[in-house]
Amino acid sequence: MTEHDVPWLDEREMRVWRRWLRVQTDLQAALGRELSRDSGLSLQDFETLVWLSEAPDERLRISALAERMHWERSRLSHHLRRMSARGLVGKEGCKEDGRGSFVQLTDAGRKALDEAAPEHVRAVRRLFLDGVEGRELEVLEGFLERVLERVAETETETETEVAVG
């Protein structure tokens, strides 16, 4: 494909694309500021605690948590180390295979999550969901699902290329 074959964005598409990028950045920043102010947790802390709270026995293998959060394992390990130092999570070896590790929600982590969740949900509603009217939520959900499917397809294609390459 040459430069002339590229289907460049028209003015409206560019405006929507740039607005989408700004929404991602500004919404995450606003939610992060409010969460930090209200609870001392970062969005990443909160997401980690939520995933653990929803897991059986409030624990997951670190590799499974990394996959769910779409994080590199090394990034998650560094983050978990910081959370562990604050008493929010604990780590234990995997008795089944001896190689992996589990991360466990601690009582302090559960308390932090329980205290942070109500204000965070209010912020999500106020900044995001309250702006959705009528059928827009259904349309938005369908649109986001299609985007995620396309992204997943490119991840699969990349993994296949790496395996074959």
pLDDT in tens, 65-123: 999 999 999 999 999 999 999 999 999 887 777 678 999 999 999 999 999 999 999 99
Rg of the chain in Å (alpha carbons): 20
Give the pairing type, strands 101-105 and 59-61: antiparallel
| pTM (2 d.p.) | 0.85
pLDDT in tens, 35-68: 999 999 999 999 999 999 999 999 999 999 999 9
* Rounded-to-integer distance, Cα 129 and Cα 123, Å: 9
Identify residue 14 by its one-letter amino acid code.
M
Does residue 131 carry a pLDDT above 60?
A: yes
Listed in sequence order, the residues at least 6 apart from 66 whose beta carbon sits closer than 8 Å to its beta carbon are: 72, 73, 75, 76
CATH class belonging to 9-123:
mainly alpha
E-assigned strand segments in 4-162: 59-61, 89-93, 101-105
For the chain, domain boundaries: 9-123, 128-159
Placement of tokens 């700004």 in the chain: 22
